[in-house]
Amino acid sequence: MLSRWIDNQILLGAAQAGVTMAAALIVVALTIRLRLGLKKDILVGLGRGLVQIVAVGFLLTLIFSADLWISIPIILVMIITAGFITVQRIKAIPNALWISLAGISAGAGSVILIMTLLGVIKQDLTSIIPIGSMMVYGAMNANALMLERFHSELVSHGGQVEAGLALGASPEKVVGPYARRAVTAAMIPNINGLQSLGIVWIPGAMSGMLLSGENPAYAGFYQFVVSGSIFVTVGITVIISIVLVRKQVFSKAEQLLIHSDEKQ
């Protein structure tokens, strides 16, 4: 209906965003009514989300006309930002920022580079930047989930970890079960996503290709490329991060550095 009244594409986008925002405000009103205490978080989220994504949209129109190498600093900025966002909620783990940066760089960086060189990801900015961003985003979430779970496992099983150390076991051995649980927890959303692909949901990349009139069968293959690449990214990220983090939670004398608040 809106497109019948508005010819200009930018104005049409703004009007569509306005309608979406109005719908979101109804949810805000409901949360206020239900006293959920989420008003500020939702309003900030909606405001930031709109401004950030529209700003990026305008920026991309400039970037897409630039040379291919510009993708390198852009992906790097994404990785660094993802590292900082990850550690906002995980302050108790020593060197969490460096661990996150190493994990996300190794995971997202290597997959983006290899897939681009092999031509699986098209060697143009309109492919590398959005698909790269999905990989960095997937790596960031998985890394945050893994670190958070690992930390909470150590807090709740600190007694068993120290019992293992007191028996002369290596730190790697005593945290092994908790490291495995953390990695599993971080990968489950991604594995669920792969299993439900096309049945429960049609992800953004395929939706975008369908909206722009691509062959649906090719869009399906390409969506698997994207989802599979994100899975590989997530796997590499959490494995690199867990290898690094399990050393960081012990001192050089193999003493556990993470304790529950109740420890005397």
Partner 1 sequence: MESNGNKHPALLSVEGLGYQVDGQVLLSDINFEISAGERIAIFGPSGAGKSTLIRLMNRLDEPSSGTVYLEGQDYRQISPRKLRRRLGMVMQQPNLFPGSVAENIRFGPTAQGERLDDARLSELLSGVDLEGFADRDVAKLSGGEAQRVNLARTLANKPEVLLLDEPTSSLDQAARQEVEETILSVLESGEVTCILVSHDRTQVMRMTDRVLSLKDGRLIADGPAEEVLNAQSMD
Residues forming contacts to partner 1 in the complex (CB under 8 A) are 159-160, 162-170, 173, 251, 253-256, 264
Smallest distance, partner 1 to C-beta of residue 94, A: 15
Cα of 143 vs its chain's centroid, Å: 8
Indicate the residue among 22 and 253 with the shorter CB distance to partner 1: 253
- For partner 1, which is the closer residue by CB, 177 or 220? 177
In whole angstroms, how close is the CB of 154 to partner 1 at the nearest point?
13
- Which CB sits closer to partner 1, 109 or 171? 171
Q: Do residues 258 and 249 lie in contact, with contact meaning Cβ atoms separated by under 8 Å?
A: yes
Q: How many CB atoms lie within 10 A of CB 146?
A: 30
Q: How far apart are CA 49 and CA 39, in angstroms?
A: 15
**Pair of tokens at residue 251:** 């001192």
Determine the Cα–Cα distance for residues 63 and 77; give it in Å rounded to an integer: 14
Q: Please give the angle made by the CA atoms of 249, 233 and 243, to the nearest 5 degrees.
A: 20
Between 45 and 159, CB nearer to partner 1: 159
Helix and strand tally (H, E) in the chain? 11, 0
Shortest Cβ 197–partner 1 spacing (Å): 35
Compute the least distance from the CB of residue 167 to partner 1, in Å.
Answer: 4
